[in-house]
Amino acid sequence: METSAYHPRRDRIIVTILLVVGGLLVAIPFIWMVLSSIKTEREVLAIPPTLFPQEVTFTNYLDLFRNMNFGIYLRNTIIIVLFSMVGLLFNTMAGYGFGKYAFKGREAWFLLVLSTMMIPSQVSMIPVYLILNEMSLTNTMPGIILPGLIAAFNIFLIRQFMTTIPDELLEAARIDGGGELYIFFKLIIPMAKPILAVQVILTFIAAWNSFLWPLIVANDESLYTLSVGLALLKGQYATNYAMQMAGATFMVVPILIIFAFFQKYIVEGMNVSGLK
């Protein structure tokens, strides 16, 4: 755009070439993952390696469900994703509470929320485990879900958005007799769509990828998530790279598809959230 004054066409070609080369370098691990996942176990270890599979096979994917319990891992991951949306509701409620109500101690409480952002996860990791242990929540689904439910940074972003909603709108709704919950669900949430769209995608991705808490808290395989199951696969089938690649593809591709569809909102959302 701005550098195009002199040789616009030539510049554009150079930039495009640079982006293509860089993009290929970035994409190689993904391409290699997907291509290897549909090769036979023997072909994956062939020297020199083949780029495209000589013989396309889906047995690696079937093995994920036959030799390992990827069905269970998938179910647990979906449960975590669903509950993360409850967490998002709590974050949105808090963001709205801080953004649109004047109440005693608001600044102090908000400061408390923000201060939790500074605490490195390594500091809270051990005491959180001890607390879960005292509550007898280790090796349970609530123990996996609860510690990651609230994200102070997301409350902050949502609050920033909420402050832009005019007070007159809320007052008008109250005069019309709308209850506070009615106003929140029927007026505020529809208005907050731009920021919530981003939050839903990012929350989904974070929950789908969550690894550390499921790993620490879950002892039984029946509580494993996809990422913990994949780590188990890496250990149990250390030399079966074809099956490892199938497991990784199974975990990664759904996220990439969802992201490709909704990526427009993420870039726009960064603008909305004022991170410039």
Partner 1 sequence: MKKSAVPYLFIMPAIVLLIVFSIIPIVISLVISFTDLDLRGLANWSSIRFNAGNNFAVLLDDGVFLQSILNTFFYVIIGVPLVILCALTVALLLNFATSKLFSVFRVVYYMPSITNIVAIAVVWGFLYNQDYGLFNTLLGYVGIGDVPWLEDPLIAKLSLILLAVWKGIGINMIIFLAALQAIPSRYYEAADIDGASRWQKLFYITIPSLRYATFFVTVTTLIGWLQFFEEPFVMTEGGPLDGTLSMALFIYQEGFQYSQFGYAAAASFVLFIFIIIMTLIQFKFRQSEDEVR
What's the chain's Rg over C-alpha atoms? Answer: 24
By C-alpha distance, which of 179, 197, 9, 181 is closest to 96?
181
Q: Which stretch binds partner 1 (CB under 8 A): 56-64, 67-75, 110-118, 189-197?
A: 110-118
User: Binding to partner 1 by residue 33, rule CB under 8 A?
Assistant: yes
Q: Is 271 in the site for partner 1 (CB under 8 A)?
A: yes
Joined together, the tokens standing for residue 218 give: 């879950």
**Nearest distance in Å: CB 39, partner 1:** 12
Report the nearest approach of partner 1 to the CB of residue 56 (Å).
Answer: 19
H/E segment holding residue 39: none
- State yes or no: residue 209 binds partner 1 (CB under 8 A): yes
Give residues 121-150 in contact with partner 1 (rule: CB under 8 A). 121-131, 133, 146-147, 149-150
Separation between Cα atoms, residue 128 and residue 130, nearest integer Å: 5
If binding is defined by CB under 8 A, does position 88 make contact with partner 1?
no
Q: For residues 199 and 212, give the distance between their C-alpha atoms in angstroms, rounded to a whole number.
A: 21
First-to-final CA distance of the chain: 20
CB of 71 to partner 1, least distance (A): 18
Candidates 54-62, 66-74, 164-172, 224-232: pick the segment binding partner 1 (CB under 8 A): 224-232
Residues 6+ apart with CB under 8 A from 3: 11
**38: contact with partner 1 by CB under 8 A:** no
Residue number, 65 or 259, with CB nearest to partner 1: 259
Q: Dihedral (C-alpha) 160, 121, 197, 247: value to the nearest 10 degrees?
A: 170
Task: Give 85 or 270: the residue with its C-beta nearer to partner 1.
Answer: 270
Take residue 200 and report the two structure tokens written for it: 């839903």
Which residue in 80, 47, 68 sits closest to 244, CA to CA? 68
Residue of the chain from 13, 15, 56, 85 that contacts partner 1 (CB under 8 A): 15
Report the distance separating Cα 109 and Cα 250, nearest Å.
42
Among 64, 161, 227, 265, binds partner 1 (CB under 8 A): 227
Contact positions with partner 1 (CB under 8 A) in 243-262: 244-245, 247-248, 251-252, 255-256, 259-260
Nearest one of 58, 54, 27 to 43, comparing CA atoms: 54
Supply the minimum distance, in Å, between the C-beta of residue 216 and partner 1: 6
Q: Which of 62, 164, 211, 219 binds partner 1 (CB under 8 A)?
A: 211
